[in-house]
Structure 1
């Protein structure tokens, strides 16, 4: 039987479900997408696998504005820098 104490979310990039421990929470701060590794920042969040492939898929599908209920375009620079740092 699966452990039901860990919440499950859907990645906005690949649309696969995964435990929150495997996903990166992303919020809007100052008009840009900001990673929330500790899952503590206020506001609506979107979950994303911490991979460049899922990020590009989410941007291509315009999933972030929909998931975060934001009508303006969002800057992905801080999120891309965070993911690049994770890989290094």
Structure 2
């Protein structure tokens, strides 16, 4: 029997997508970090790795609400955009 893939909602665009298509942001020990493994303990939220979703999540404070904390948005945004750019670079290399 096939296992169902977990579905999560992006805090930026509010679209439901498979968990593997999103990046998990987690509040762990009063720190907000990107959870590359998806297994870190702590309160988490999911976001698409694209510029529009990242900007929307930060502008609307939906990420802060989901994590129930405040954090340095500029640092996290820079990390997410860097990761998004790296992912887009890999995707475009495959097409070329």
Aligned to 1:74: 71
1:8, 1:19 within 8 Å by CA — same for their partners in 2? Answer: yes
Aligned to 1:11: 10
Structure 1 unaligned regions, length at least 5: none
| Cα distance in 1 for residues equivalent to 2:24 and 2:48 | 9
Q: Report how far residue 5 of structure 1 moved.
A: 1.1
| Cα distance in 2 for residues equivalent to 1:69 and 1:82 | 19
| Cα distance in 2 for residues equivalent to 1:82 and 1:63 | 15
**Residues 26-37 of structure 1: pairs in structure 2 closer than 5 A:** 26-29=25-28, 31-37=30-36
Structure 2 unaligned regions, length at least 5: 87-96
Aligned to 1:52: 51
Higher helix fraction (1 or 2): 2
Normalising by the residue count of structure 1, what TM-score does the alignment of the two structures yield?
0.80
1:27, 1:36 within 8 Å by CA — same for their partners in 2? Answer: yes
> Highest Rg: 1 or 2?
2
Q: Supply the RMSD in Å over aligned alpha carbons.
A: 2.1
CA spacing shift, 1:85–1:8, aligned 2, 3 Å: closer
1:9, 1:19 within 8 Å by CA — same for their partners in 2? Answer: yes
